[in-house]
Every structure is written in C-alpha cells, then in structure tokens.
Amino acid sequence: MFKSITLLGVLASTVVATSYNLVDNFVGGSFLTGFNWEAIPDPTHGAVNYTDQAFAIAQNLTYTSSDTLILRADYTHVTNYPTGPGRNSVRIRSNKEYTTAVTILDLRHMPQGCATWPAFWTTLESDWPDNGEVDIIEGVNDVSPNQSTLHTTAGCTMVASTMSQTGTLVTTDCNTADNGNAGCGVQTTKASRPNYLPVILGGWYAMERTTSQINIWFWARDDTSVPADVSSGAASVVTSSWGLPVANFVSTNCNFDHFGPQNIIINLTLCGDWAGAVYPSTCPSTCTNYVNTEPAAFENAYIPIDSIDPSSPMQWDIAWLKVYE
C-alpha cells in the first residue's frame, strides 16, 4: 500500500507525492494471463474486428517473448468494412481494477500512421462514464502532440490556473455529454507521439491516481532526467522525485467521486469516431477505403530495443507494465 505522503507546493495547486510499492508486474507472457483480449464490437466505431487471444496469437497479432509484448493489426487481408468485418486488431484489458495507484509503461514503440488510433487508458467498461476514464496516451493519424484526457459525467471541469504541469490545457469540460465527448485534455510539449518514438527508442509513461489528483508523466528513452526508480522498474517508486507532471488534473472543480475502480486498456483501432473524423488530406483516399484496400500499409516489422532504425511499424512494442499501490 502507499505510504509516506509528501506535499510539493508549486504554482496555484499542490502536487501530492507518495511512495508506492509494486503490486503487479506484467512482462512478456504474463500479459497473457493478466489481461483479457476483448473480442467485442469497437465502442468507437472503428474499422476493426477485435479478436480473442487465441486468434490473435495464431494470426501473429499478438507475440510475446521474455521481455516483449507485441500487439498489432492484420496486414495481409483486404477487408470490406462496414459491409463486412473490419481489419483484425487487438484490445486488451487488465483482469484487475485499480483506484489509488501508479501505473508505469515502458514502451519501445506504438502504432502510427494514417488511420491509426492507438490508446493506453483506464476505465470501467461496465459503468462508463459513471466511473470515469483516464486517457494516458492517445492520438490519431500520426498527428503530434500526445493528449492526456479525462472523461466523466457532468460536474467536472479543469482550470489551467489550478494545475501545476508542463503541458497545456486545451479543453476544460470533462463531461462526456458536452462537446462531442472531447473531455478535458492536456497536450504535452514533449515529443511523445509515435512519429518521434522510433528515433529515441520509446520511453516511459506514468500515471499517478489519488483521491484528489491524477498526474501523468512522460520521459523519452534519451531523457537524462528520467528518475531511476522509473527506468529500472524498481520495487517501489517515490513520485515526489519525478518533477512536474505533463498533466496535473486536480479536484478543485471536479469531485473525484467521478472516478471509481478502473481497468487498464491498450488497444489499436482504425478510423472510427475520432481518427476517421479528422482523417487528413495528406493521407491516401478516404480513411475507411485506405484501411480496407491497403493491408500492406499496416505491416509490422519488429524493431529491437537497441535499433536506431527510424521506420514506423504500426504496432505496440511493450517492454513492461508495472502497477504500484
């Protein structure tokens, strides 16, 4: 459990920093037992067909080794969405739910390119949006920067002057019923979106959730300021040593009763409500037609941890995921 609370008074708000101990360590094959591969219709109406674990492994959409989890979409078949199923892809959800916790993802690579909509986030699907949603990594169509966003029921807003962070608040109303469910989002000034990750070999994303704050950090692989307890995946972490977060969501204008127990979700959808709606003119054809007719565009070449190849595979390449309480 968490312990030894320290307070950092910065700007107009106070970042609550706590020491946490490791409770779950997912690496390689342990993802297969710790997560559920959700074979469900895409709630965001993407041109994908989410598959179960057995099918994903058989079709090489999921691959594990001692220190790697690969998640990707099919790149061999022409599809006919929406008349028929979309492109086979993956969406995984942790078996456990978490509340007050720190989650750290060591990420080598994430999907990128036209039509892609990768996300690393937390929610309780059976009680959405009443239990809230925290988007840690999210972006579409290879457009920078990364955006971290909260989605809630009515009565939760963010005000920039109350947030101690390095990122920029771009939307303030967290209510899913307003503004097309844009949520309240913070964009990072760091190069954290996938078009940059191949060059710097990924990095670490962290989210701390307490009863009054939700903090999100990102450190690139070549960032010399990354805390040692983060980069090493230590047995305990102390968030007070991590510096200002990219996003500091606070309870000043948002009762954190909006957030209940949540699962961790990692997925790759294509087109859909967001990526399809803002599909850029610089990308080929229409979003759905591109996904249907260009399977080779989604081919995933594995890039090892010590590679400096700046190519852009459309896949999740995850070293580990750790949860601390």
Three-state DSSP state, 233: coil
Instruction: Out of 38, 97, 125, 133, pick the active-site residue.
Output: 133
Instruction: Out of 38, 97, 125, 138, pick the active-site residue.
Output: 138
Spatial contact of 92 and 51, defined as CB atoms under 8 Å apart: no
Separation between Cα atoms, residue 4 and residue 20, nearest integer Å: 9
- How many beta carbons lie within 10 A of that of residue 225, not counting itself? 8
Separation between Cα atoms, residue 16 and residue 21, nearest integer Å: 16
228 Cβ neighbours under 8 A, 6+ residues apart:
234
Rg of the chain, C-alpha, whole Å: 19
Is 294 among the catalytic positions?
no
Residue that the structure tokens 């996938």 belong to: 194
Separation between Cα atoms, residue 123 and residue 42, nearest integer Å: 15
Is 38 among the catalytic positions?
no
Name the residues annotated as catalytic: 133, 138
